[in-house]
Amino acid sequence: MQTLMNLDNLTSIDQLAEFLSGTQTVAFSVLSSPTARYEWVQKTLIRFRYLTLSKRHQGVVIRVLMKVSGYSRQQITRLIAQYRKTGTLKRRQRTVTGFTQKYTPADIGLLAAMDERHDTPCGPAVKKLCERALLVFGHTEYERLASISVSHLYNLRKSLPYTRQRRHFEKTKPRQIPIGERRKPAPNGQPGYIRIDTVHQGDLDGKKGVYHINAVDEVTQFEVVCTVEKISEYYLIPILTQLLEAFPFSVLGFHSDNGSEYINKRVAELLDKLLIEFTKSRSRQSNDNALAESKNGSVVRKIFGYSHIPSRFAQRINLFNQQVLNPYVNYHRPCFFAETHTDAKGRQRKRYRYEAMMTPYDKLKSLPEAERYLKPDLSFAILDKIAYAISDNQAADRLQKARQKLFHTIREQDLKSG
């Protein structure tokens, strides 16, 4: 027997304590044999008369046993309990054989081949095919698979031997919807090509909030915000008709993301009736509808915030949009307009010059031959009366007061109904 450690010169508890604190150097070697460790633990317990020691001194011995043997405190405690009960330590090794394997790799190979032939039918169908292979056609290699349970058949399908032999991958199938053309609009400096997006005013206790429909002209940034109770066709078609009529120029293009509120037959029929070009965002082109999304944050969220607004207030909010918000945004709120510059390498860069900053209405007036873009019943003389009836500051004050009144009314009625 190999000696686990050379501690013969340590004969007292104080010396063991010094060994633990590191003040006394002791050379020892650790054996990998579990039997030798058990014998050394028993020898140490006998040498220091462990059962007669005080609790404090017993703790010192336990720490030494842990340090030298490498066993955990729980294991040392179990060994001491065995020594206290029997006076000796014996290693009782228990080897569990486990379950015998019923289905061999050959059986799993037969299952994989069966699935391959029949395009992976359901479990009961495969079990029936294995039974028929054995009983009807006399293929004895299917004897074990013929008696397999359906649940365990699915287990075998998940096993490593099965997946190594047969893996099935199905690519994501694109959904082709023949509504709208998937491309970026090309207004070519002409107003009337709008970008549209939906802003939801949150859910609360399972109840939907209002939906804001935000439409922005790409060239002039002329913006119309409408609010609906729901985005179903019943509510959306009338509000889209109102939205299209609110622009001072004819709408020639309608661009949205791929949401089902816009990509549907009713909206397509409405736009087709008005001879409006319908386009939708392309895959992996996040900037296709970026103008509308940026206005969602800088206009809609700044005015209405992120809190839940119950859907029953949609009409009141939409009236606020028509009378206050839309006139302020279009006639009194300046916007940056990008200027595209091409460098020597042919790269295009956008610059936002302060000198090019103006309101959407001023941008519309600045276009060459701007008068011809207006609807037949409108003129700049009529629109000037709206634009210059009040100052920008007066329009902002009017917006703030109307918004405070709107939210105060919403809170009051919401508390009463709650």
Q: For residue 136, which amino acid is it?
A: V
Is the whole model's pTM more than 0.75, yes or no? no
User: Do residue 345 and residue 250 come from a single domain?
Assistant: yes
In a domain, 7, yes or no: no
User: Do residue 282 and residue 236 come from a single domain?
Assistant: yes
User: For the ranges 130-139, 170-179, 336-345, 347-356, which has the lowest average pLDDT?
Assistant: 170-179
pLDDT digits (tens, 9 = 90+) for 151-181: 999 999 988 888 888 865 566 565 666 777 7
> Taking the C-alpha atoms of 238, 240, 244 and 245 in order, what is their torsion angle to the nearest 10 degrees?
20
User: Do residue 70 and residue 129 come from a single domain?
Assistant: no
User: Do residue 265 and residue 386 come from a single domain?
Assistant: yes
pLDDT digits (tens, 9 = 90+) for 243-297: 999 999 999 999 998 888 888 888 888 888 888 888 888 877 777 888 888 899 8
In a domain, 95, yes or no: no
Contact 181, 254 (CB under 8 A): no
- Of the three residues 165, 192, 217, the one that is the final residue of a domain is 165
How confident is the model over 53-72, as a mean pLDDT? 87
In a domain, 100, yes or no: no
Q: For residue 298, which amino acid is it?
A: S
User: Do residue 292 and residue 337 come from a single domain?
Assistant: yes
User: Do residue 253 and residue 402 come from a single domain?
Assistant: yes
How confident is the model over 351-377, as a mean pLDDT? 90
Token pair of 2 as six digits:
């190999």
DSSP 408: H
Backbone φ/ψ region at 104: left (φ over 0), alpha (ψ -120 to 50), beta = beta
In a domain, 295, yes or no: yes
How confident is the model over 55-68, as a mean pLDDT? 87
- The overall longest dimension of the chain from CA atoms, in Å, is 113
- Of the three residues 54, 86, 118, the one that is the final residue of a domain is 86
User: Do residue 304 and residue 203 come from a single domain?
Assistant: yes
Give the pLDDT confidence score for residue 4 in this predicted structure: 40
pLDDT digits (tens, 9 = 90+) for 175-204: 666 777 788 888 888 999 999 999 998 888
Contact 156, 127 (CB under 8 A): no
Reduced to 3 states (helix: H, G, I; strand: E, B; else coil), residue 211 is strand
How confident is the model over 333-357, as a mean pLDDT? 85
How confident is the model over 58-73, as a mean pLDDT? 86
In a domain, 6, yes or no: no
User: Do residue 131 and residue 216 come from a single domain?
Assistant: no
CATH value at residue 287: 3.30.420.10
How confident is the model over 211-226, as a mean pLDDT? 94
pLDDT digits (tens, 9 = 90+) for 91-114: 877 666 666 788 988 999 999 988
In a domain, 244, yes or no: yes
User: Do residue 66 and residue 115 come from a single domain?
Assistant: no
How confident is the model over 197-219, as a mean pLDDT? 91
Q: Using alpha carbons, select from 213, 197, 102 the residue that is nearest to residue 159.
A: 102
DSSP 24: S
In a domain, 94, yes or no: no
User: Do residue 266 and residue 312 come from a single domain?
Assistant: yes
Contact 248, 364 (CB under 8 A): yes
Count of domains observed in the chain: 3
Domain enclosing residue 28, as ranges: 13-86
User: Do residue 112 and residue 81 come from a single domain?
Assistant: no
User: Do residue 81 and residue 109 come from a single domain?
Assistant: no
In a domain, 91, yes or no: no
- Of the three residues 119, 136, 165, the one that is the final residue of a domain is 165
Whole-angstrom CA distances from 378 to 250, 325, 371, 383 are 11, 21, 9, 7
Contact 330, 344 (CB under 8 A): no
Confidence of residue 1 (pLDDT cuts 50, 70, 90): very low
**What gap in Å lies between CA 129 and CA 145, rounded to an integer?**
10
Q: Determine what percent of the chain is predicted with pLDDT higher than 70.
A: 91
Give the pLDDT confidence score for residue 417 in this predicted structure: 72
